[in-house]
Amino acid sequence: MQNLDTLFPHLEHPAQVVAHLLEYVRKTGAGTSQIPNLLKASCNHLDTLGRRLDDLGQYVPPDSDIKLGVNNLKNLLNSSEDFSLQQVASDLAHFQIRVEAMGPPALAMLRECQALASAAMQDNLSGAEFCRLGSETDDIDDLQKWHLLHLEALLLGNQGREFSDDSALQDAIELLRSQALILVQNHERKEQQAITLETLGTLLGIIGQRRSGTRYLEESVQAYHETLELCDREKTGAVWASAQNGLGNALGVLGQRQSDDDLCNRAIEAFGQSLQFRTEQKTPDEWASTLNNMATVFHSLGRKNKDSKILKRAVDAYKEVLRVWTKSSTPLDWATTMFNLGTALSSLGDHRRGPRTLEQAIAAYNSALSIRSRELLPEQWAITQNNLGTTLQKLSERENSIERMKRAVEAYQNTLKVWTRESMPMTWAMSKANLGVARRHLAEMSSDMENADHAISEISSAVKVFRGASHAKYTELGEEQLSLARQLLARLIAEEQAGG
């Protein structure tokens, strides 16, 4: 069985510290595919906490007990043997009364440290509450207040993104609009205004992808445009590039949802702009992420328009991403990119006569399955098996290969070990229908009545679910396939009787 720890990215922290943080991640109940990002976020919060403790120390008299306490906390964070976030959080709470005497900025800084400690322990909501308390501290300057408001929105946004908490997302969006943005507009702080708008665009985009309609996505696009109007690419290149990438994502989803080629092309243009700053040499992970996003839009556009040249651009982009997202360094990202590459190659293979492109797609899916195991990533294993089955079926029909069709049947059967009728009825029905159609082809190729009979049973089961869900299109397609399967069985029975 695959070792869970092999799926995590290599982090620049002692193994004991990472193991400590991992325990907090696991307590959230997050899925395996979420763990790397959550673990990376904990490490980032930990690093920021170290810097904020330095800032807190500047408010403290050098010979005071509290100065010694802050130094002890820093040592605790840097210790692989004695590391304990619970102890850090406890000590910070004990500092409160004495820090209050040092003035409002010191107290607000303490609140930020408490927020970061909570966030590192994957308690985003407690972290957001500490930020709220800090931002409401009297007599702090507008920049410190904005910083706490923005961090509060980020933590609420993280809660919403990672744990499907739309209420937290809405709270973060409202906080940015009603407080953080107004604060920096009133004080004419353009850089902070741009950062706030970029964060707002990101959160609107997340909720927009979850909701039907286009309202949130359109608001996301507007927020990113306003960000870019404020950004100086030379001075705030990272924010500018992030906004271009976010704009590309929002436009890409809008383009796919509305079947609008112009929006998709604008998304590709935005990604291209982002890649002028996010280079493979300077920011490899961000470069790979943006290029991966661009490849997704290429694939969608190429498949819609049946354009092999655009599909080839998607394939080439995914291959470039694999230079950075390697199996050893980022195994989950590597496996996802391999899966996406397989899907793009399968689409491209539809437009090429030879078998080579479809064979490459099959190889990519099999590579992805070396990480996407049923034990650790059941949902991702199932979707990869489903797509593998589809591609094997295509190639079998092209080559008239019984062996490949058998493998397609096996892949579809695998999906049904995860996608059950009780838990995912429509997904189960679609996979059941795929299995039935593959069985029908196999029965026809091998003149096998048993497989023809199985095909009728499997397609019938799928049609019942489609009809029960009032899904007219799938019901009609299923009934057509059911009719073909019944005709095949009748013909095979007649041929056997005639031969007998």
Tens digit of each residue's pLDDT (9 = 90 or more) over 286-336: 999 999 999 999 999 999 999 999 999 999 999 999 999 999 999 999 999
What angle (nearest 5°) sits at the alpha carbon of residue 378, between those of residues 372 and 384? 55
The segment with the largest mean pLDDT, out of 23-37, 73-87, 235-249, is 235-249
pLDDT above 80 for 8: no
pLDDT at position 1 is: 43
d(CA 370, CA 229): 45
Residue 285 has pLDDT above 60, yes or no: yes
In this predicted structure, what is the pLDDT of residue 360? 98
Using 50, 70 and 90 to split pLDDT, how confident is the model at 83? confident
What stretch(es) of the chain map to CATH 1.25.40?
375-500
Q: What is the pLDDT of residue 13?
A: 82
Confidence of residue 166 (pLDDT cuts 50, 70, 90): very high
| Arithmetic mean of pLDDT, 370-381 | 95
- pLDDT, mean of residues 459-473: 96
- Per-residue pLDDT band at 220 (split at 50, 70, 90): very high
- The CB density around residue 68, as the number of other CB atoms within 10 Å, is 12
Share of residues in the chain with pLDDT > 70 (%): 98
- The pLDDT, as a whole number, for residue 119 is 98
- Token pair recorded at residue 354: 């030879």
Q: What does the pLDDT read at residue 76?
A: 83
Mean pLDDT of 455-469: 96
Taking 80 as the threshold, does the pLDDT of residue 262 lie above it? yes
Q: How confident is the model at residue 3 (pLDDT cuts 50, 70, 90)?
A: low
Q: What is the mean pLDDT of residues 31-49?
A: 93
How does the average pLDDT of the chain come out, rounded? 94
**Both tokens assigned to 89:** 């959080």
* Residue that is written with structure tokens 């595919």 in the block: 33
pLDDT bin (cut points 50, 70, 90) of residue 2 is low
CATH architecture of 375-500: Alpha Horseshoe (1.25)
pLDDT for 80 beyond 80: no
Helix axes 237-258 and 261-277, enclosed angle (nearest 10): 160
If we measure between CA atoms, which residue out of 144, 119, 146, 148 comes closest to residue 131? 148
Task: Produce one character per residue of 270-295: b if its CB has 16 or more CB atoms within 10 Å, e if not.
Answer: bbebbbebbebeebebbbbbbbbbbb
Going by pLDDT thresholds of 50, 70 and 90, the confidence category of residue 482 is very high
pLDDT the model gives residue 500: 63
Residues 6+ apart with CB under 8 A from 181: 193, 196, 197, 200
